[in-house]
Chains A and B, each alone.
Chain A
Amino acid sequence: MPSPIALSPSSPPPSLFLKKKKSSLSQIPPFPTAASYLSALHEADARARGQVVTPTSTPPLSISSSLTSASGDTVLNEPDADRSGLTYPLTAPTSEQVFTTVHTEFGHCANQDYRCVSQHDSEKPVAEHKIEEPPYYILFTTYFSYLLLIIFGHLRDFFGKQFAKSYFTHLVPYNGYAPLNSDFDSFYTRRLKRRMDDCFSYPVTGVAGRTILVYDRYSEDCNYTQMYPGTKTRALNISSYNYLGFAQTSGGCADAVEESIKRYGISMSGTRREGGTCDLHQTAEALVARFVGMEDALISSMGFATNSTFIPALVGKGCLVISDEHNHASIRVGVRQSGAHVRMFKHNDMDSLEALLREVISQGQPRTHRPWKKILVIVEGLYSMEGTMVNLPKVVELKQKYKFYLFVDEAHSIGALGPHGRGVTDYFNIPPRSIDVLMGTFTKSFGAAGGYIAGCKELINSLRLRGHSGPYAEAMTPPVLMQVVASMASIMGVASPTSSNPKASSQALTVAPQADEYIHPGMAPASSLPTWLSLPPSLSDGSEARERIRRLAFNSRYLHAGLNKLGFITYGHPFSPIVPLLIFNPGKMATFARMMRARRPTPIVVVVVAYPATPLVTSRVRFCVSGAHTKDDIDIILRACDEVGDILDLKHGHGERWPLEEIMKRSVELVNSL
């Protein structure tokens, strides 16, 4: 059963190194007006409906042709909708192609060449992460910009306190109260961040899929207040954590969630240990354990809280936590609450980790020099600001030697990495059980919310009992649980109970011989899912999700490679869906975001981050690629970066440079050459 996301029946097994038959550029249809394009689309759609037999068991809601838009805002009255490529693909679908997704949420891309398998080549060593240095004048002007901002900030504070007292009431003591926030602590926020506040916290509406509707806003008083005229703009979304494109309003997952709301309601009205546990929790936990390849798993209703409330149950006084310096804030909060001693090692630097391990084990606890009770090394699978991937083979090797416990935070990597989407262990083909604790979130790849911790049964039971979330935090709500179950089951594929259908599951997934037996990374036994759940065939055979994973891998690599060939400095692993592009100067950073948003016909919304989330000099824009993006979308982003990068002087990479057209034309070759 071919995938209905991208159906191209006659496509031979893609030979990636052959010269491409058709370039994507030549496919842009020569339709002069929106009307003619639409009518052509109508025609193609009508033909497709007539010819292709759509899966009959699919619930009616998920059959939506390329023309129907399930979003509440009708796409037709959006200006520029025709040329932007946002609401309709730039490449018109051919008669054989039937897409069941809404293009604004999940892009239509039928070309099987634009796929890639995310897998580590075990013969190659794990690539060290190289950091390219910018020219000195860039560093100088960056420091100078900050200096200027600080000087002007202090000047404005000084004169402001004399002449515009009303703005400073909350910063000075009044009426016997100390100021709520000291002007020193809030200096950065008031004087540096406020200048570019228009780049953050944009209110949006609708689904955060491939495109997103942002509310227009402007400020007349230097970002103190924002004015909303009430209009909205649809923009290409390269910012949301929607790696596999499960942020959708239609399709099998949304249908399952709707059914779950009807059956279970909205909330479990209580904590897990005080009557807030339902059968869906057990189903989801068992499924997560299978998905990641561990004995057992527990689920927490918030990703941040998964770290901050369960790490204290793992370590305590007399224990040592060794943490990567770029670990997420939630890990830091959790470690701080635990009372354990913390040491940091240089980001992803295995030599630094080993040296530290040798030191701490030989020296023991400070002052008393008693041996540590236990040492927990906490690393992330993919680092959210750097896009780097942990050198897991080396960490596991060190673990054998130094006997520490290993906690891998897969918040970003689960779903997004590995040929089966099972995260960083799948990518490196390392047995998951060689790691003690696997943690991850459902926010990113699964389009849900919350997080999980997986490990051996004894550990998980102990965490259920001793973690803070069990007795005090609200249980995960049924709709969120259902989204987790449905999206996860669709990534795994569902083994039919009779297992008499080897054809459907022959490709990359191994067939579970019996319904209850599970070999990692295999399909989910049908018995492990709620009986009332009926996923459409494309989801239950895993073909659609496989497409999503492969599209994500291609898009990630293509954007990485494309930006490098354009001459930008980027960080991170080529397979990482997080692609940070270095901007350095704080002023350019804000300008970059504004210019991208102001682009027509296709506005692009980007995430820019600066100090304190990053080191002072390395301000960056962080692209989050999704499997919902098409190759055309990445082309649009590359073109935008190319043009904006020229204006802002951002191209400081040392590698070989290609012109944009060549990058776009030779994309497949580029992706495979990395």
Chain B
Amino acid sequence: MSAGNATLEPLLTWLTLILAQLERTFYKVPGSAVIARYVRSSHQNDPGRTVLELILIVFAVRTLMQSRSRDKSEGKLIKFSEKEIDELIDEWTPEPLSAPLTEWEQRDLASVPVIAGPNGPKPKILSTGKTVINLASYNFAGLAGNEHIKERAIETLRKYGLGSCGPPGFYGTVDVHLELERDIADFLGTESAILYSQGFVTISSVIPAFCKRGDIIVADRAVNFAIQKGIQISRSTVRWYDHNDLKSLEDVLISVEKDRRKRGTPITRRFIITEGIFERDGEIVDLPKLIELKHKYKYRLILDESISFGSVGRTGRGLTELYNVPASQVDMLVGSVANGLCSAGGFCAGSTIVTEHQRINGTSFVFSASMPPLLAVAGSEGISFLRNTPSALTSLQENVRAVRAVLEKTEGIAVVGHRASPIVHFHLKIPCIANGSANGIATNPTTVMPPPTGPSFDYEAEEKILQDIVDDALANGVFITRAKRLRGQEMVETRPTVRIVVTAALTKKEIEKAAGVVKGSVAKVLGKRKA
């Protein structure tokens, strides 16, 4: 034993020395006294307390080391052997990538007419070779086929080539883009504007650039598909109000504010999103009232003027001109260069802060090539045409009145939308009633579904009848189209309609004649159905 002690003794002394050395070094480290004091005071002659502290430290280290990846299911994975996994892989059979088209879908696809040559007021249809009157294309002011614009486009081609070959951030900002942005801003009377290279993606990029998680969006129930997609991406809290019902909007705005007060949360960004002329049915929003509400409840307004820009107002400036409201009152005014100016692309006009923000945060602005310069020039030329030719908009309005006058007298169909809207929708007066009735739900701003107004419709049956009307009209020399919808992907299913787009490029006589043809087709198709 003592022999054992004797052999251990040098080791023990050595250990003591080491310990003493360590202690000295420890105290030399600046701040070590604090740690020592902390350990001493927490220990307090109670090992339990030290153990607790140690456990806390271990826990903290573990938390820090843990991976921060989102996958909470990682721990819940079912353990399989390699062989089992192989078996599961063998067994798995995926669904086909695309579901086969139904008979109706095939007909729908085949029914799209193909134009031979240029589109305009009187295009030629490829399959029949016949020239028809066009009431389907967005050619409000009659810019399609304008010779001066073509000449300018060719000049631009010879100076700039066709593609811009780059996103705006990387040498894709051509001077003609900036000119068009300035032209749009001048035309509307806003501080500035920003140009996107496709009309459809414009608003679905503008919305998520501003509306983030936690922000509040109050939107119309019948907003177009692009807005729906923008809202979906933004992940904001959405409240819906009844279609074009500003009373309902005000109720929702009040309830949102009440809700916020109750919860005592700080103010977040709040937006009202709606359309100027609804693409879906041609209703026009009461802009002055909307602006009043927006100011009263301190919301920002995102207004989609994709249809109304270039088609209403004295010179086509859109809704703000129609109602004589300064465009600067609309925080983000989104419009389409493709529809209104017969070129391509879209824009968002507003204050400089609004547009500059999008130059970095507008996804489809940043990550996409800018539009071909010659199309931007065509847009600029379109604006100068509108500025100098107010008569185009006057004759457009006359034509709208003429079309509506004929269609409103047509049996069997109901014309919807505002009187001044250059797009005229009509649906069947007597609905095809589907089996089963809609479940009753009260107006609830948290859901997009509108309150039930009557029995639900058999969409496909109505679509088929409307398509018959369209086909018959085309056979008789008038080109119209159903308003095509992505059923199943739209948030709300609306009644199928036929859409007539009025243009200033046709004379009143031609328009009346064309409307008469549509009237005849409606009577023929509906008459056949009755018989």
Interface string of B346-368 (1 = CB under 8 A from A): 00000001100101110110111
A594 interfacial contact with B, CB 8 Å: no
B339 interfacial contact with A, CB 8 Å: yes
A202 interfacial contact with B, CB 8 Å: yes
Min Cβ gap B288→A in Å is 20
In the complex, identify which listed stretch (B21-29, B54-62, B116-124) lies at the interface while the others stay far away. Answer: B116-124
Min Cβ gap A480→B in Å is 6
- Contact of B162 (CB < 8 Å), options: A206, A241, A468, A479: A479
User: Quick check: A265 and B150 within 8 Å, CB to CB?
Assistant: yes
B520 interfacial contact with A, CB 8 Å: no
User: Quick check: A483 and B226 within 8 Å, CB to CB?
Assistant: no
Report Cα–Cα, A122/B105, bound state, in Å. 44
In the complex, identify which listed stretch (A83-91, A305-313, A488-496) lies at the interface while the others stay far away. Answer: A305-313
In the complex, identify which listed stretch (B172-180, B242-250, B396-404) lies at the interface while the others stay far away. Answer: B172-180
Write the chain B residue with the least CB distance to A173: B267
- Contact of B99 (CB < 8 Å), options: A329, A446, A462: A462
User: Quick check: B201 and A366 within 8 Å, CB to CB?
Assistant: no
Known: A266-B375, A366-B73. A468 touches B200 (CB 8 A): yes
Known: A208-B164, A369-B78. A270 touches B353 (CB 8 A): no
A566 interfacial contact with B, CB 8 Å: no
User: Quick check: A204 and B372 within 8 Å, CB to CB?
Assistant: no
A556 interfacial contact with B, CB 8 Å: no
Q: Which A residues lie within 8 Å of B199 (CB)?
A: 473-474
Q: Which B residues lie within 8 Å of A246 (CB)?
A: 163
B229 interfacial contact with A, CB 8 Å: yes
A348 interfacial contact with B, CB 8 Å: no
Interface string of A439-477 (1 = CB under 8 A from B): 001111011110000000011011111101111111001
User: Quick check: A359 and B77 within 8 Å, CB to CB?
Assistant: yes
Interface string of B160-188 (1 = CB under 8 A from A): 11111110111111110010000000000
User: Quick check: A466 and B112 within 8 Å, CB to CB?
Assistant: no
User: Quick check: A461 and B101 within 8 Å, CB to CB?
Assistant: yes
A124 interfacial contact with B, CB 8 Å: no
User: Quick check: B153 and A208 within 8 Å, CB to CB?
Assistant: no
A177 interfacial contact with B, CB 8 Å: yes
Q: Which A residues lie within 8 Å of B197 (CB)?
A: 302, 304, 449
User: Quick check: B93 and A403 within 8 Å, CB to CB?
Assistant: yes
Near A by CB (< 8 A), chain B positions 198-241 give: 198-201, 210, 212, 215, 224-226, 229, 232-233
User: Quick check: A266 and B150 within 8 Å, CB to CB?
Assistant: yes
B343 interfacial contact with A, CB 8 Å: yes
Report Cα–Cα, A489/B121, bound state, in Å. 31
- Contact of A261 (CB < 8 Å), options: B153, B178, B485: B153
Report Cα–Cα, A268/B117, bound state, in Å. 10
Write the chain B residue with the least CB distance to A179: B269
B154 interfacial contact with A, CB 8 Å: yes
Near A by CB (< 8 A), chain B positions 357-395 give: 357, 359-361, 363-364, 366-369, 371-372, 374-375, 378
User: Quick check: A305 and B201 within 8 Å, CB to CB?
Assistant: yes
- Contact of B484 (CB < 8 Å), options: A177, A372, A471: A471
A215 interfacial contact with B, CB 8 Å: yes
B38 interfacial contact with A, CB 8 Å: no
Q: Which B residues lie within 8 Å of A473 (CB)?
A: 198-201
- Contact of B201 (CB < 8 Å), options: A302, A480, A605: A302
Near B by CB (< 8 A), chain A positions 324-343 give: 328-330, 333, 336-337
- Tell me the count of chain B residues lying within 8 A, CB to CB, of chain A: 115
Most buried by B among A258, A271, A405, A442: A271
Q: Which A residues lie within 8 Å of B467 (CB)?
A: none
Q: Which A residues lie within 8 Å of B267 (CB)?
A: 173, 176-178
A301 interfacial contact with B, CB 8 Å: yes
Min Cβ gap B89→A in Å is 5
- Contact of A180 (CB < 8 Å), options: B115, B170, B269: B269
User: Quick check: B367 and A328 within 8 Å, CB to CB?
Assistant: yes
Write the chain A residue with the least CB distance to B225: A472
Report Cα–Cα, A274/B197, bound state, in Å. 20
Min Cβ gap B274→A in Å is 17
Report Cα–Cα, A469/B201, bound state, in Å. 10
Q: Which B residues lie within 8 Å of A442 (CB)?
A: 163
A51 interfacial contact with B, CB 8 Å: no
User: Quick check: B344 and A477 within 8 Å, CB to CB?
Assistant: yes
In the complex, identify which listed stretch (B43-51, B137-145, B426-434, B438-446) lies at the interface while the others stay far away. Answer: B137-145
Q: Which A residues lie within 8 Å of B229 (CB)?
A: 337, 468
User: Quick check: A271 and B161 within 8 Å, CB to CB?
Assistant: no
Q: Which A residues lie within 8 Å of B338 (CB)?
A: 267, 269, 474
Q: Which B residues lie within 8 Å of A266 (CB)?
A: 144, 149-150, 153, 342-343, 374-375, 378
Write the chain A residue with the least CB distance to B135: A275
B7 interfacial contact with A, CB 8 Å: no
Q: Which B residues lie within 8 Å of A276 (CB)?
A: 119, 137
- Contact of A304 (CB < 8 Å), options: B126, B139, B367: B367
Report Cα–Cα, A461/B80, bound state, in Å. 40
Min Cβ gap A335→B in Å is 11
Q: Which A residues lie within 8 Å of B3 (CB)?
A: none
B35 interfacial contact with A, CB 8 Å: no
User: Quick check: A267 and B97 within 8 Å, CB to CB?
Assistant: no
B34 interfacial contact with A, CB 8 Å: no
- Contact of B368 (CB < 8 Å), options: A253, A254, A302: A302
User: Quick check: A312 and B489 within 8 Å, CB to CB?
Assistant: yes
- Contact of B298 (CB < 8 Å), options: A177, A249, A258: A177
A362 interfacial contact with B, CB 8 Å: yes
User: Quick check: B298 and A201 within 8 Å, CB to CB?
Assistant: no
User: Quick check: A207 and B200 within 8 Å, CB to CB?
Assistant: no
Interface string of B74-112 (1 = CB under 8 A from A): 000110100011001100111111111100011011001
Report Cα–Cα, A349/B11, bound state, in Å. 54
Known: A254-B158, A269-B139, A373-B95. A264 touches B117 (CB 8 A): yes
User: Quick check: B119 and A403 within 8 Å, CB to CB?
Assistant: no
A247 interfacial contact with B, CB 8 Å: yes
User: Quick check: A204 and B165 within 8 Å, CB to CB?
Assistant: no
A293 interfacial contact with B, CB 8 Å: no
Q: Which B residues lie within 8 Å of A72 (CB)?
A: 158-159
A282 interfacial contact with B, CB 8 Å: yes
User: Quick check: A279 and B126 within 8 Å, CB to CB?
Assistant: yes
User: Quick check: A279 and B115 within 8 Å, CB to CB?
Assistant: yes
Near B by CB (< 8 A), chain A positions 174-224 give: 175-181, 185-186, 189, 193, 200-209, 212, 214-215
User: Quick check: B359 and A277 within 8 Å, CB to CB?
Assistant: no
Q: Which A residues lie within 8 Å of B145 (CB)?
A: 265
Q: Which A residues lie within 8 Å of B116 (CB)?
A: 278-279
Report Cα–Cα, A262/B137, bound state, in Å. 20
User: Quick check: B94 and A404 within 8 Å, CB to CB?
Assistant: yes
Known: A254-B158, A264-B117, A305-B201. A470 touches B95 (CB 8 A): no
Q: Which B residues lie within 8 Å of A436 (CB)?
A: 97
Interface string of A498-517 (1 = CB under 8 A from B): 00000000000000000000
B113 interfacial contact with A, CB 8 Å: yes
- Contact of B92 (CB < 8 Å), options: A207, A371, A446: A371
Report Cα–Cα, A483/B160, bound state, in Å. 13
Report Cα–Cα, A275/B136, bound state, in Å. 6
Known: A249-B157, A443-B369. A301 touches B171 (CB 8 A): no
Q: Which A residues lie within 8 Å of B32 (CB)?
A: none
Report Cα–Cα, A412/B309, bound state, in Å. 35
Known: A170-B353, A267-B342, A305-B201. A241 touches B369 (CB 8 A): yes
Q: A267-B342, A273-B484, A329-B366 are in contact. List 10 more A-B contacts (CB 8 A).
A: A201-B169, A203-B174, A267-B119, A275-B136, A330-B368, A363-B77, A373-B95, A403-B89, A458-B101, A465-B105
29 contacts between A and B (CB under 8 A): A179-B269, A180-B353, A180-B357, A200-B169, A200-B170, A201-B173, A208-B164, A212-B171, A239-B170, A248-B161, A261-B157, A265-B119, A265-B145, A269-B119, A269-B338, A269-B342, A270-B138, A278-B117, A278-B118, A305-B198, A305-B201, A362-B89, A372-B94, A447-B165, A448-B162, A468-B229, A479-B153, A480-B162, A480-B163
In the complex, the 7 A-B pairs of residues with the closest C-beta atoms, listed nearest first:
A473-B200, A275-B136, A471-B484, A304-B368, A302-B198, A462-B98, A207-B161
